[in-house]
Chains A and B, each alone.
Chain A
Amino acid sequence: MKRFTLKPLAILIPLFGFSAYADDSNTLSNPAISLVLDGYYQTAERPLAEREEGLGLGHTELALSAVIDDNFYGKLTTVLEVHEGETELGLEEAFIQTLSMPAGFSVRAGRFLSDVGYLNNQHIHTDAFVERPAVYRAFLGSHYFDDGLRLNYVAPTDLYWTMGVEAFSGESLRAEDEHGEREYEEVGVYSLHTKFGGDIGTEASWQVGLAWLRNENGRLTAHEEEEGDDHDEHEEDAHEEHDHSHSAAYTGENTYIADFVYKWAPDGNYKYQHLTVSGEFFRVNDFMAHHEEEHHEEPGMEEDHDHEGHVNDYHQGWYVSSVYQFSPAWSAGVRYGQVDTLMAHEEHFDEQELKETEFTLAWHPSHFSSVRLQYVHQDGLNFDGIEDDNIVTLQYVTTLGAHGAHQF
């Protein structure tokens, strides 16, 4: 993560000089400026999550986008986050995208959100729940954005069919370097993804996606036999860093993602009532250092593993979510998700599991503001940072400025 600390006002003042444009931004080709304000009160912390206990600020986001010329579109999204009194400025998006390539091709370059999965390329402020599902927090650092290049293709078919390939630096998905001497691949992450979608009559629409994320730096660093006591300290340091950046806590060489979304509205009219059901499944394979994997796959496993039952050699997680807008100003949702992971500990792996059941109720009097009350019941096995199994969050999210178009 490239990140530095700045007094937030110093950033905001010059950018607000543009705000005269904001009124005109709804025409399709002028610069659009939007500011997202997000604040909350939360009764306890959640594992792998960014929000702290008590009163706090979430993603304060300032975005500027425009069609640059006939050939390019550009967008910049900066995010201000506060952690323990420090204000951090993050650059979440800074990309250009081609507009004039033939035959359904387009290229995006710079820093942008990967197209893998359903939620990942959506902006956090459009989410129906306070945090991303545990599987996103564990494997993608809440949302995976990176410096890279994407080639996308939309087929000229009646059924929506798109395919994309991406290459990224992969820094935020690197496995921990416990000894500080690992040589990482500079282009570490590649993805291949495809999505299909269509309508069912006039009332319902669907989309399914499949993705493969190849992470050259995803395997754990090999242990050195003579490693002494300071090993544990290193691990803890690295882990603490995870909580404060968008790095993934669990990585592997190959991640497979399957996702679906189904939306329904009476007569297909989304103004008054509509339903969104979505779900995703993640499998993260090949995370052990090569010599450990061999060791792990030996038929005669260590005894203490046997009496704990079978130990997986992959991380896995999934969630299913359902949100119903029952009037223009109110919606309610429920989501269940879990992750099953393995945490390296000395010479073996400890099984971890986190299950989350979430209920949310949101009041959105206009397109630009929402207030959300959420209850989470969490059930964790071997996860640090669980002080209370029941968490209540009250959150507001507002958007000032441009009326951004939302993705399906």
Chain B
Amino acid sequence: MVRINSKIMVSMMAFVALMQPTLVFAELNIFACEPEYAALAQELAPNANIYSATTAQQDPHMVQARPSLIAKMRRADLVVCAGAELEVGWLPMLQMKSANAKVRSTDKGLFYAADHIETLDKLENVDRSMGDVHAAGNPHIHFSPTKLLGVANALSEKLITVNPESAAAYRQAFANFEQRWLAAIPEWEALAADLKGKRVIAYHSSFRYLFDWLGMEQVADLEPKPGLPPSSGHLAKLLSRSNQGDIYAVVVASYQDERGARWLAERADLPVLVLPMSVGGNEQSSDLFGLYQSVIDLLKAAR
């Protein structure tokens, strides 16, 4: 027979019961994995309490499942992430530790942006020798204006499901965003017209969607394989590639190490562009509109 020391058990239970604080009513709490989705949520639910787990200076592949994030997810009504396995190294741990059933599955308060659009570069087969690649396609989708609008539409619907009382306000906020976004796209495209056909060397496939949209071409990657830092042998190869003379610039994102890019750029006499990876990546990128504007301005200013 199992004998349990009841006195100890009762005192432990009492301790836990005492620690239950009173719940305070609050606005919808939104936990965003990346700042671009915090910014999108800000557009679509301006009254919500929005928290971004990462900044534009932090690589979203490599995030610690740290206590503050567990605490934030514990109180979240909605979690908005890129998906396509970008957060696979930390999000499952946060979900497990935060014990918040509301945001466990995409049937409820979990939203993956990549679920609602077609990602680029989906892979049939993945093995580890290819580096840190995602079978579900490139997850850095927020630099495609049309895909991001698709995500915005789906996120607005999700907000309505999670908090139907504010449905009218969410619909209005989406309509407002859609109108401004659709007006801005042709302006950006006109501004970026002379970037078409430009060839760049970039770090990772972080700006895959941006280059795809603007008709630019990433001819080489500073990483020898996705997720691996630039090696000297690989940089030497990139240098001989640069000597063909058709490279416009070397591009890195705000959270990436610039040293490899600087080494290459100095020897190949190329400009290095540090582009904000997300909202907050530089002063101009205070929202999604500012982010797009800033990235195009920086690209154009390279030469």
Task: Give me the interface of A with B, judged by CB distance under 8 Å.
Answer: 23-24, 26-29, 70, 73, 97, 99-106, 151-163, 165, 167, 185-187, 190, 192, 195-199, 202, 205-207, 214, 216, 263, 267-272, 327-329, 365-368, 400, 403, 405-408
Contact = CB atoms under 8 A, between A and B. Distances in A.
Given A153-B19, A185-B3, A199-B68, A97 B96 contact: yes
Contacts of B100: 104
Interface in B178-206: none
Given A27-B85, A160-B71, A186-B3, A268 B19 contact: no
A100 B101 contact: yes
Contact of A165 (B13, B67, B228): B13
A326 to B, nearest CB: 12
Nearest to B12: A165
Interface string B17-52: 001110100000000000000000000000000000
B89 interface: yes
B75 A156 contact: yes
14 contacts: A24-B135, A26-B134, A28-B88, A28-B95, A100-B104, A153-B99, A190-B8, A199-B68, A202-B55, A267-B57, A327-B229, A328-B229, A366-B128, A408-B67
Given A28-B95, A99-B104, A268-B55, 11 more contacts: A26-B85, A27-B85, A29-B105, A102-B101, A155-B74, A199-B66, A205-B67, A269-B57, A270-B58, A270-B62, A406-B93
A185 B5 contact: yes
B92 A28 contact: yes
Complex A-B, nearest 10 residue pairs according to Cβ-Cβ distance, in ascending order: A197-B67, A160-B67, A405-B93, A160-B71, A267-B57, A165-B12, A271-B59, A205-B66, A106-B99, A199-B68
Contacts of A186: 1-3
A186 B75 CA distance: 38
Interface string B99-116: 111001100000000000
A403 B89 contact: yes
Interface residues of B, number: 62
A101 B71 contact: no
Q: Is the interface of B mostly helix, strand, loop or mixed?
A: loop
Interface of B: 1-5, 8-9, 12-13, 15-16, 19-21, 23, 54-55, 57-59, 61-68, 70-71, 74-75, 85, 88-93, 95-101, 104-105, 125-128, 131-132, 134-136, 227-229, 255, 257
A270 B128 CA distance: 21
Contact of A23 (B9, B23, B104, B125): B125
A195 B67 contact: yes
Given A99-B104, A216-B5, A263-B64, A163 B71 contact: no
B64 A158 contact: no
Given A102-B101, A202-B55, A367-B132, A408 B64 contact: yes
A156 to B, nearest CB: 5
B72 to A, nearest CB: 8
